[in-house]
Amino acid sequence: MLPPSLLALSFAALAAASPAPVPAPAPAPSPAPAPQALSSVESIFSSATGAVASALPTVLGSWPSLSDIEKKIGVKDGNDLQNVSASALLIPSYANFSGDNWNVRFYGLAYKLPNISTDDLVSIIDGFKADNLNATETSLLQNRTQDLASIPIPNANLTALVFANGSTVTNSSGIQLATTDEVGEFDQFVSVPGLGGNSSTVRVIETGIANVTGPGNGTVILVPSTGISVVSDIDDVMRITKVYVPNQGLFNSFVEPYVNVPGIPELFAHWNETLPGAAFHYDTTTPVELTRTYVDYLFSNFPLGSLEMRPINISQPSQILEARQNSLLKLFQTFPQRKFVLVGDSSSSTLLSAYPQIAQQFPNQIACIFIRNTSATDPDDKIPFSTSEFKNLPNNTWFFYRTADDLFNLNITNGQCRNDSVPQNVTFGEQGGVLGNNGALGQIVLGRTQYVAALAGTVVALALSLL
């Protein structure tokens, strides 16, 4: 029997349920002109593929929820674990310069990590199978699942420290942060003197939490007031995850060595050297418990930067979209004089909505939007995607690419976002996947009979992939 979250996804495809309204901090794009009338079969197909695509982040995220973990361990929250030391996760963050000081963002999780076996954790990862693993895969699974047992500490009082150039910047009493919320998370800016003035290049400082006995260290990038920031999704943009093949997406996240998308480390290194005041901000819908795994991977392969993880107890597509919109909004408001390069992929329905929306709200801060078309380069990606929200953006600001080479020689600083050798074929509707691949994008070219066959094939393929 299918797990409940995956069964719901199958029903969504078969019933062609419309996604629930999504609250957004950025205004929604103006409605596009009404499309040409479709047959009832075509309409069902469009709605079904949209439902499947929007639910894919939930499939990849079908590992245990906080309540699943707490039930498995038999606790209510971290305060029940009196004999377990408190720890703090400081997610790599950023700071902006204002007045005479830097405003440092402290962002992370207070938690306790009880002793729980890998087998117990794997048993509650929805739909995940860990049979017949080799020694390397077994070791990776143990390392990556151990933090899934993190039990948040609600209403925790944390004291932060800041270090620069090997010396402590904060006084002996540290910085008293606001208490953590009901799921142990904290996210606030604090003005910190003693970090020097504004600069033209990114600097890195270290942070820590003083009143925990477990790990509690992190990094913060001091971002210049002007320059260009690269905001990039991670999965299927920087590393090969295959979120569009649910079981394989889970397997690649937990037991396989992380593999770079070819050419992307070199491209980001090139941007780091050539873009003025370059800063990097990485964003993923992967749950916060895998932060350390992602940090180890990212900063061994890409420029140091900040990181946004999926908050605790967020799983629905509408919640994931809202979280991404909020993280983008925070960046754009924190750095009003900087321009942004937004990098994503066609398998992420949240980014295909969030990027155009933030671009309409802050048009003067957009340098370029680059979307990797995974269906054009990976035959396993059979899920169509929608380009409708790009209709109201200037054509010279966005570009759907296939490989890193398509982007390497673009003069982003002077506003060049398009590589004219790569055809776009954007329909501003459903395209890609089983709908066909022409050029960089799949163009809708199917007739009515083919639509019926495609719909059946999509549902069957989806059902098989979820077994």
What's the rounded Cα separation, in Å, for the pair 284 and 236?
A: 10
Element spanning 33, H or E: none
**Sequence-ordered alpha helix ranges (H) in 224-306:** 246-254, 264-274, 291-301
What's the token pair of residue 258? 């992380």
Q: What is the pLDDT of residue 128?
A: 64
Q: What is the pLDDT of residue 187?
A: 97
Q: What is the pLDDT of residue 248?
A: 87
Element spanning 49, H or E: helix 40-60
* Nearest residue to 392 via CA among 358, 351, 342: 358
266, 404 contact by CB (below 8 A): yes
Cβ-Cβ contacts under 8 Å for 323 (sequence gap 6 or more)? 285, 310, 311, 314
Q: What is the pLDDT of residue 124?
A: 65
What's the rounded Cα separation, in Å, for the pair 62 and 254?
A: 12
Eight-state DSSP code of residue 127: T
What's the rounded Cα separation, in Å, for the pair 133 and 149?
A: 21
240, 259 contact by CB (below 8 A): yes
266, 273 contact by CB (below 8 A): no
Q: Which residues of 189-209 are buried (b: 16+ CB within 10 A; e: fewer)?
A: bbebeebeeeeeebbebbbbb
Rounded to the nearest angstrom, the gap between the alpha carbon of residue 79 and the centroid of all alpha carbons in its chain is: 30
191, 101 contact by CB (below 8 A): yes
- What residues are paired with 96 via a beta bridge? 103
**Rg of the chain over all Cα atoms, to the nearest angstrom:** 22
190, 275 contact by CB (below 8 A): no
What's the rounded Cα separation, in Å, for the pair 455 and 458?
A: 5
- Per-residue pLDDT of the chain (467 residues), as tens digits, is 333 333 333 333 333 333 333 333 333 322 322 223 333 333 333 333 334 333 334 334 455 677 777 777 778 777 778 888 899 999 999 999 998 999 999 999 999 988 877 777 777 666 566 678 888 988 888 888 888 788 899 999 999 999 999 899 999 899 999 999 999 999 999 999 999 999 899 999 999 999 998 788 999 999 999 999 999 999 999 999 998 887 888 889 889 999 999 999 999 999 999 999 999 999 998 888 889 999 999 999 999 999 999 888 776 778 888 999 999 999 999 999 999 999 999 999 899 999 999 999 999 999 999 999 998 889 899 889 999 999 999 999 999 999 999 999 999 999 999 999 999 989 999 988 776 544 455 443 333 333 333 443 343 333 333 33
* Nearest residue to 461 via CA among 52, 126, 125: 52
* Nearest residue to 299 via CA among 274, 286, 280: 280
- Residue holding tokens 């006084």? 171
402, 441 contact by CB (below 8 A): no
